Amino acid sequence: MAALTRPAPVVVRAARPGEGVAVAALWRELWDAHEAWGGYPGSRDPRVYTQLAQRLEDDVRVRAGHPILGRHVHLVADLDGMPCGQVEGWFDRQGVESPYTCEVRSLIVSERVRGLGAGRALLDTLASCALSLSHGTPCILAAEVLEPNPAHSFYRRVGYAPVAWCARVDSDVGSTVAAGRARFAAPPDALALARLEATLAARRRDAGDLRFDRPRAIDATLIGAIAAHLATHASGSLRDPASLVAVDAAGVVRASASFTVHALEPPFVPMRRALLGRFAVDPAVPCEPFVAPLVAFGCRLAAAQGAPHVELTDLAAPGTDLHDAALRTGARPWSRVVTRQAS
């Protein structure tokens, strides 16, 4: 009878010198998969991945065998001495009182070795690194997962739960949704924005999203800070980010959102990416009459900046008024953010 052999265990570690080409190949596999799921396309130019491999080699030398460099974590999964997977983590804090957040980025396990526990091992080790950076204080791991990505079931198995959703609309389609009453926010809107921010903070907490602060007390200090910020970021400047508001027929601010646009860089195919998020709607009014103008305005801004799509981020769960109002602008489900506490 032939002897039974167990597969070699997966080891998670920092990348080593000479592995730049192998890790760059994992990135190529990841971008190809994302493009197949409808994500932003990756470059097909082999020179891009040659340059990426060199950057990875330079990064390895700087790290000197340590996975943590500043706020950035980079881990590879090793099977029989060769990288078979990788993940990045970006450590930050979204508020003043909220836990630290480690954003999970670029998780990929090569298709040839899936099912051996490499993905779980990468995330578990990333959680340990995040706790090291937070010095043992609470830390949230968060990953954005495209809707067609089959990894949703994997994230559920390893303890992640969805807390926010994202849709995407073509900028030329969304711009025609509503002529509406949306504009850039101005300093006189500070009190209304403070109230809407409290609504947004409460919605996040109700959804189990602990990455952000609880609702803040609305006082003169907060209102003054918002007004000063709006005065500094002049209307129409499109500085990052720009605050937008939607008003009713009487000119009362009823909803707000934040708009930004930036450039995607290699290994993505270079293009402009627009984000419209931080949606907050006065609970005393229906969502759709105010979400639609915000989306239309955001799409016009995106089109002017050469961005073909707008991602509508930080939405409530499917079936809620906010999510349904976003989809009625012509948007399609795009992704969701899943989180778990590091332990």
Residues 329 and 218 in one domain: yes
6 lies in some domain: no
Residue with tokens 């931080």: 278
7 by Cβ neighbours in 10 Å (0-12 / 13-18 / 19+) ranks as exposed
CATH number at residue 16: 3.40.630.30
Minimum mean pLDDT among 33-47, 52-66, 74-88, 278-292: which range?
Answer: 33-47
Would you say the pTM of this structure is higher than 0.85? yes
Q: 128-183: per-residue pLDDT in tens?
A: 999 999 998 999 999 999 999 999 999 999 999 999 999 999 999 866 666 569 99
Residue with tokens 């921010």: 197
State which of 102, 127, 157 marks the end of a domain. 157
| Over residues 6-12, mean pLDDT | 77
Domain that holds residue 264: 168-338
State which of 94, 122, 157 marks the end of a domain. 157
* Domain tally, the chain: 2
Residues 152 and 211 in one domain: no
Q: 197-242: per-residue pLDDT in tens?
A: 999 999 999 999 999 999 999 999 999 999 998 988 765 556 578 9
Q: Angle at which helices 220-232 and 190-206 pack, to 10 degrees?
A: 110
**Ranges assigned E (strand) in 94-201:** 100-109, 139-146, 161-170, 182-184
What is the reported pLDDT for 175? 64
State which of 122, 157, 192 marks the end of a domain. 157
User: pLDDT > 90: what percent of the chain?
Assistant: 85
Residues 120 and 183 in one domain: no
Residues 144 and 200 in one domain: no
What is the reported pLDDT for 178? 64
Minimum mean pLDDT among 73-77, 163-167, 180-184, 312-316: which range?
Answer: 180-184
Mean pLDDT for all residues in the chain: 93
pLDDT band at 9 (very low <50, low <70, confident <90, very high): confident
